[in-house]
Structure formats: C-alpha cells, structure tokens
Amino acid sequence: MRTEERGASGGLWPASLGWLLVNRFQVALYVLFLPDVLIHPYMIWIILLVGVLSHFNLRILSKWLQTEEARLGYEGFVRVLGGRAVRLLAVPAAVVILLESSILTLDYLEVSHHVLFPSVSKLTFLPLLWLASVYLASQGMILTGRFVIIAFIGSLWIMTLFLQFLFPPVADYAMLLPLVPQKWDDNIPYILLTLWAAMAGPQYLAFTGSRFASTSGMFRWLALGNALSVLEYVVFFLAVTLAFGPEYMRKLDYPVVQLVRYIELPFFERLETIVVPFHMIVYIFLDAFFILILRDVLRIATGNAGQAKGFFGLAAVLWLVFIYLFGKYFWASETRHLFWIHFNSWLTGAAYALVPSFLALAALWRKRKRKRS
C-alpha cells in the first residue's frame, strides 16, 4: 500500500465496499445502449442467465482477491507472473483501459448531446467531466473508491422513477408476451456477449486487492452487488418494454432516456435535464478510477512500479488527449459509433471472463509448485 494514499484516506476499503463497486461498474452501460439490443420480452431470461454466469465469475474473482499475491499488489503480480511478463502486459493493459474509458465516456457524452444540447459539439462537456474526474483521482485510490458511495446514492434513485411503468394503468402487460418465443432471434449469441460485457467492470478490482482492509467474506459482497445490478437491469427492461413495446423500441434512440420524458411530476417538467446530469456522477467515479489504474500501469510499463509519486499528471493528460482524438476522428459517424460499441463488447467481455480466471489459476499453480518444492 502506498503511504500517501493510506495517509490521505485514513484507512483502507472495507470489504463491504465491494458490492457498491461491482454495482456501479455494471450499471454504467445499460441505460445507454442495451435497450437497443434487448428488444424482445423473452430476453428477460437472458438477463437472468448472464446474471447467474456473472455470479460464478465473481466467485473466481473473490478467490483471487483472498490470495496472498493479490494482497501484496505489484509484488504479488511479480511473484505469479514474473517481472518481465508484468511489464509486457502493462502495455496492452493501458490500451484496453484507454479504449474502454473512451467508449464509455463518449457514449455518455453522446446521450448528453442528443437529449440536452443538440446544437453544440459532442465533446463540449469533455473538459468539465475531465476536470471533475482528475480532481477526484488526485485524492488517491482509497478516497476515489469511497466516492462510489456518493455515486450510488446519487444515481440509484433514477431507477425508482421507472417503477410507475410496471403497474397499471401505465403498464400494458400484453407487451411482455411471448415470454417463450416460437423462434429465437438469430442474434442471440451477440446479445449474450453484449449483456455479458455490460456486466463487466469488476475485473478491475483484481488489481486493487491491496486497497482492501480485509477480503474475508468478499464473495458475499460482490454477489450482492451483482444481484442488485440484475435487479436494476430487469426494472429498466420491463419499464421500457411495457411502455413502448418491442416494435416501437426499435425506432428509438436511447429508450431508457426517452422514457424519462414521460415521467410526470407535479413540481418539475423535463425531468431528463436532471436525470442525465445526475448520471454523470457515475462517470466521474469511473473515469477517476480509470485514470488511477492507468497511472499505476504507466509506472509498471516504465519500470517505476516502486515509485510512490509521479505519473499522475501524465495519465490524466494522456486520458484526455486520447479521448478527444478518439472522439474527433473515430467516433464521428453512426457507423463508427456502432463499430466501437461492438468492439467494446468483445474487448470487455473477454477481459471480464479471462482476467479473474487467469489470475486465480496462476496463483493456484504457484501455490502447488511451491508445495512440491
């Protein structure tokens, strides 16, 4: 544990923080584009199936977090993989972090542009989001992780707004039929992949084992966060399906955001002008987390892993420049937008499946090798 982070925070993360971290990582994508993929009522079973699979993947992640190597941080990775391998893996890891962070951030900025300020550039609010994320990240990983409590409280209430669409007279339950289709969609494999990718994010906790005060009972907390994510997915999916129906959903951009416009409150109109900015809290947390992970990766890649300070400014600037250039030259058209969304599904889906298993198996192999010797 780095002394400046320990001192600034006054302690480490409790294991109970794990469920909030898992939950906010997992819900970031759903409201943006998943309703464009999950357009048939029977796909509620896919949400539940992927939730169960994610549950088992988190068990593997918890096994890794409880190992001695995970608790040691960088030194533990060197024990398992070797110093040279860790440095080599740091380079593609930096690329993955930048790509995933870019796609998440740009998709949120796309929503803000589409709903709130269509007359200005999509990148107009990037500096504001960057400044907020950098300020949070400058407080260190411990306080950034604890900020997830604010991100949770500041965004969970959005789900409660959609509960009214689940009950009559607003809900049309006929929209949920058939729950067992006569013919399955040909895109089911891709839909499974996309939803699995939407459940990704907790794999980054594999690199924060040294920040937890204790990992005892960690799986219980990770599973709780995963279960809450599945519940939120189901609520949003049912609300949009009952309100719009499968046919109309196909014609809408960002159905969840569009549904906010139908929410009536006696004291406020155009609720989307509140919901979309409030959802930014989640992205401030995620981007700050990504910047700090990128900082650590840059230290490792340059052979300065033991350095207590430095590389934060480089990580912050690199993050901003990469996203700006990516948004300007690779996100300019709808075709490119969809391509990178699909690419991100493959990338994050693979990372979520492989990272926990690879690290847990590597630690198990080292333990058995040590016993034999």
Instruction: Give residue 320's pLDDT.
Output: 96
Query: How many Å apart are CA 356 and CA 193, to the nearest integer?
Result: 17
Domain presence at residue 21: yes
Query: Residue 371 falls within a domain, yes or no?
Result: no
Tokens representing 44?
Answer: 């509620």
Inside any domain, residue 206: yes
Between CA 76 and CA 197 the distance in angstroms is 27
User: Is the residue at 372 inside a domain?
Assistant: no
Cβ–Cβ under 8 Å, residues 31 and 325: no
Per-residue pLDDT of the chain in tens (373 residues, 90 and over written 9): 444 455 444 579 999 999 999 999 998 866 666 666 788 888 889 999 999 999 999 999 999 999 999 999 999 999 999 999 999 999 999 999 999 999 989 988 888 887 788 878 888 889 999 999 999 999 999 999 999 999 999 988 888 888 888 988 878 888 888 888 777 777 888 888 888 998 999 999 999 999 999 988 999 999 999 999 999 999 988 988 888 887 787 777 778 888 888 887 766 777 778 888 888 999 999 999 999 999 999 999 998 887 778 899 999 999 999 999 999 998 877 788 888 888 888 999 999 999 999 999 998 888 887 777 6
Inside any domain, residue 133: yes
Q: 123 in a domain, yes or no?
A: yes
Q: What CATH number is attached to the domain comprising 257?
A: 1.20.1730.10
Domain enclosing residue 75, as ranges: 3-366
Residue 373 lies in a domain: no
246: preceding bond cis by omega (within 30 degrees): no
Buried b (16+ CB within 10 A) or exposed e, 179-199: eeeeeeeeeeeebbbbbbbbb
pLDDT at res. 4:
47
Copy the structure tokens of residue 234.
């189901």
Report yes or no on whether pTM surpasses 0.75.
yes
Phi and psi for 268 in degrees, rounded to 5? -155, 135
Residue 127 lies in a domain: yes
Number of domains in the chain: 1
